[in-house]
Structures are given as structure tokens and as C-alpha cells.
Amino acid sequence: MHIHRIYHPYLTHAQRREDGAFGWPALSAAAHDAQQLTQAGALAEARGADFIALSLLHRAWGRVLQAHHAAHAEAWEALLADLSARFGPEALQALEEVLRETFGVTPPPIPPAGLTARFPSSFSFREREEGTEGGWVRALLPLRLLNENPAARMYRPLFGEAPLAQATAYPELVEALEAGLRRLPGPPGATETPLPDLLRAPLRAAPHDLAAQLRYIVTHWAAWLEEDDLTALQRGLDFLAEAHRAGTITPGPPPPPRDPATLGLEGTPEAYAPERAWMVSLVLVVKHIPIWLAQLTRRYGRPITRLDQIPDEELARLAAWGVNGLWLLGIWERSPASQRIKHLTGNPQALGSAYAVRAYRVDPAWGGDEALDRLRERAARYGIRLGADMVPNHTALDADWMFAHPDWYIQTDAPPFPGYRFGGPNLSPDPRADIRIEDGYYDRSDAAVVFRFEERAPGRVRYIYHGNDGTAVPWNDTAQLNHLRPEVRRALIETILAVARRFDLIRFDAAMTLTRRHYRRLWFPPPGEGGAIPSRAEHGLPPEAFDRA
């Protein structure tokens, strides 16, 4: 879109097209410029996703204008000649000068008659010797539509028409231009619809909803768009969905499950493991270890703090109830950083999360690996099999793997949103690194998708994504593993096998994240499927690229 020249210094992350209009390659870039404009006082508030949506509207209008001109080139030349005769060459020259001075517009000339409507980019035809008046005049239509768009009202300071109206015959000229276009057929495929009405159709369909306007264009204007236009529009919709989700994430229960049909799961083959006889008769009870040990201490009147101190009487009692499976929740070594986060956010008695696993070692607090081995032997005498959790989606943000293999995690080199701040305490128990979660977690003002990880020896800073399954807030004491890396998949398989050698039962936490479709939708979404996790749409992959990983 065209923006007043006085704001160009703040558009440091935008890309400028040859017609002088601005666009943004990614949500993070647009968000950065939106923040700079609000800090400069140009706007009261702004969203990067809206900037991208408005630039895509501008791009789509340009495509339709190209198609219309290519189909009616001679009629356009006659119309422009009529405007020149009516208003005078001086009026058109004045308009050109104000557009150039105020917006930095460099509209291209009229394309040669008969040129195909398909262009490699918006307004990308070559210079003609006849002049450039047609390009200047046609540049007015997207500008007028942006100013008319109710959904763009809060951004009008960026592209307001007042300078044009005050210094030129802009209002009268645009009115005459539209009147002339109404006498012409519409573009190919919509010849019965006057061009001004066609260009306004998305605004009339959804006056206050930029996302709905883009969806209208995807549905109704595909004949005039290139494949890369449609991909960009789908990505724009993903960015808007992410922005909406980022502004509405609050703690609470997850949403209801989606219809499997919408996930493309129909026809997926079943691949269940063989079912053994004991599995059918399993009666499983879950025991959260710290709570259970405290309960046993009270019940038996003596300290019971280790797994190997669990009395035989308790195992016999479970067996008498028919229990033959014991799920030991929270058995693995917990994250010191997880516990500290809980203490810093108002829960001073909390342990670290059972699902922020530092390493797949039995937590020393429960007696370590030896205590588990002794409990397993005694439980087997009562016909009780042991089970444990395994978390393949993520680790603790201070896990052993984090310090040994920071490349194993999904990450970026810069914060995905410019407003993120990492001024809180260092949570790392290891002197090799500095770990900080985003400040909004401490006062519950935000739920950032990344944390800051700095390796002190090389001095490299990474912004690593928190674990997330797309249903609620990120888990701020976890780090998201990158399953596209073969070495990560190998390490996970080895860990799963190691757990399986010690336990008859394994519960996979966030098990749906092991499916390719779900993982791709969350972290590398193809165009049109983003929005589950803010900032990930710009990292999306086409299905074939994802499948090759």
C-alpha cells in the first residue's frame, strides 16, 4: 500500500515495490514497523497482521486493474484522453507531483494494448514512450479504496487523501474516472460488473473485517490472480488468525476437538501395536508421587519419601482392589527453572512441573533409579505393572539436551514480536547459559511463545519456542523440540525405548504432537492452515517440503 512519505523512515522492515507501494515479507517484519509507527505517534495502535492484509488488498486491486486494462486497453486510452481534455494536462501533472512528493508513488505507465493480464508482479510493465499519465491515474483507485475501507479506519493517518484533495482536483478526477469506468465492461469473467463495483465488492461483503475481505478475494477473484498472489493471501489470512489468537490467549480449558474430517484424517490407516492378554484386563491407578508419598507418610506414621519405602501393605491393598497397573506420575527429574518460575509467579510451595522434564532419570528426591528398581521387584510380587510418562513434544527449558544440543529446538535469531522483553532473572542452573522467559509471564500480561537462551561461550542468543500443543497458552517452563531434525527423532526413539525397557506402561504426553499432520499444522503450517501458534505461519512449509524432512 502507499504510505505518506513522512512515515517512510519507520518502515525499516518493509519491502517496497516498483510502484512505490509497501509490503511486508513476514509477520515479524510488519509487527516491527507497526510498533515503530505507534511509538512515533503516527497511530494510536497497530497490528502487523493488518499491515500485511492492507498491502494484500492493494496488491489484489492492482491485479484486477491489470486484467481490466489488458482487456480494454483502447477504451482506457480514450478515457484518459477524455480526462486530460476535461481537467487539462496541468491538473494531471499537479496530481503526479503531489503523489510523488506525498506518497513517493512511482506508478508505471500504461501497458501496451493486447498485453496479457498476467504479470510477474503488481504494475510491472515496461516504460512506454507515450508517457505515464495512465499509470498515475490508475494508482488513485487503490488509494481511494483504502480510504473508503471501514476496516482500515484506524490506519487512515498513513494514507489519508487530504493532501491530494487540498492541492489537486483529486476528488473530481476520481469521480470522473469512476464514471467513465462504469460505461465500460468489467474484466474478463465479470464483464457485466462495472470495475468500480467489482473493486469494492470485498468491502461491501465484509465492511469491518479484513480477514473476511481477503477470503472474499481468494474465493471470487482467483481468475485474475497469480499463484503467488493466492499463496500470499493464504499466508495473510494465517497472520490475521495468529494475531487474533495472540490477543485472545488466556488460561483455561482447551477448546473442543476439531472434526477429524477437517484435519484430512479420513483414509488414514490404523497402525495399532499387538494387544496382549494382560492389556485387556488392565486396571490402572495413577499416583502423583509427591502427593502419594505425603499421604503414605500420614497413613503409616513414619517418613516415606522414597519409592523403595512404599510399604508392601500399600501394594497389597492396591492388589486387593483389583489394581494391576500403577502409573507413577512425576517420576522423572524435574526442572529447577520450572520450580523457580512458579515461586516467582506467586506459588512458593510448588515443585517444578512433572512435564517439564530435565532428564529421563528418576528424580533423586524419590530415591533415584535404584529405588525404582526395588519398587518394581516388589510390585511384581503383587501382580502390579509400573507405568510412567514420556514427553516427546518438549523438554524443560533447562533440560540436559538444551545445554548439549540447543540446535535441537525450534528457534529464531530474533524475537518473533518486537514488544517482547526479557528483563527478568536468569533461570539457568548451568553457568554455560543464560535463560530468561518473557517479562509478561511474571505479571500475567502476556503469554510469549519464546524464551531467550544465550550461550555464554560463543555469546550467541537464540529465541527458542516454548512447548505448545495449540490448545491454550504456551508452557512457559518448556522448550519445543524440532522433530524435523533427524538427530532429534533418533534421540527421542532411543529415549522411548529406554523408558520402555523400564516400564510396562508408557503414557505419551501430548501424544497428538507425534502425528505428522498435527505437528505440521502447529509448527510448519502450509499456506491457509496457520494460526494455531502465533508467528509460525511465516515459517510454514509446503507439504512436499515437510515430507522430505
Q: What is the pLDDT of residue 127?
A: 33
d(CA 96, CA 107): 9
> pLDDT tens-digit profile of 183-193?
999 999 999 99
Q: What is the pLDDT of residue 282?
A: 93
Q: What is the pLDDT of residue 268?
A: 65
User: Residue 517: pLDDT above 90?
Assistant: no
Q: Is residue 155 located within the same domain as residue 196?
A: yes
Q: What is the pLDDT of residue 253?
A: 42
Q: Is residue 323 located within the same domain as residue 436?
A: yes
The C-alpha R_g of the chain, in whole angstroms, comes to 31
Q: Is residue 106 located within the same domain as residue 96?
A: yes
In 276-346, the DSSP E strands lie at 284-288, 325-329, 332-334
Q: Is residue 198 located within the same domain as residue 329?
A: no
Across 321-329, average pLDDT:
97
d(CA 184, CA 178): 10
Q: Is residue 239 located within the same domain as residue 374?
A: no
Q: Is residue 388 located within the same domain as residue 313?
A: yes
User: Residue 405: pLDDT above 90?
Assistant: yes
The total number of structural domains in the chain stands at: 3
State the chain's mean pLDDT as an integer: 88
Q: Is residue 219 located within the same domain as residue 325?
A: no
Q: What is the CATH number of the domain that holds 369?
A: 3.20.20.80
- For 479, the enclosing helix (H) or strand (E) is strand 478-480
* Higher pLDDT, residue 126 or 246: 246
Q: What is the pLDDT of residue 267?
A: 59
pTM exceeding the 0.85 threshold for the entire prediction: no
CB 488 within 8 A of CB 473: no
Q: Is residue 299 located within the same domain as residue 326?
A: yes
Q: Is residue 508 located within the same domain as residue 534?
A: no
pLDDT bucket at 242, cuts 50 / 70 / 90: confident
Across 258-275, average pLDDT:
61
User: For residue 72, what are the CA distances in angstroms to 67, 112, 180?
Assistant: 9, 11, 13
User: Residue 133: pLDDT above 80?
Assistant: no
User: Residue 117: pLDDT above 50?
Assistant: no
Q: Is residue 373 located within the same domain as residue 411?
A: yes
Whole domain around residue 408: which residue ranges? Answer: 278-514
Q: What is the pLDDT of residue 291?
A: 96
Which of 2-6, 115-119, 158-162 bottoms out in mean pLDDT, i.e. has the lowest?
115-119
Q: Is residue 453 located within the same domain as residue 540?
A: no
Across 445-457, average pLDDT:
94
Q: What is the pLDDT of residue 51?
A: 96
d(CA 289, CA 297): 12
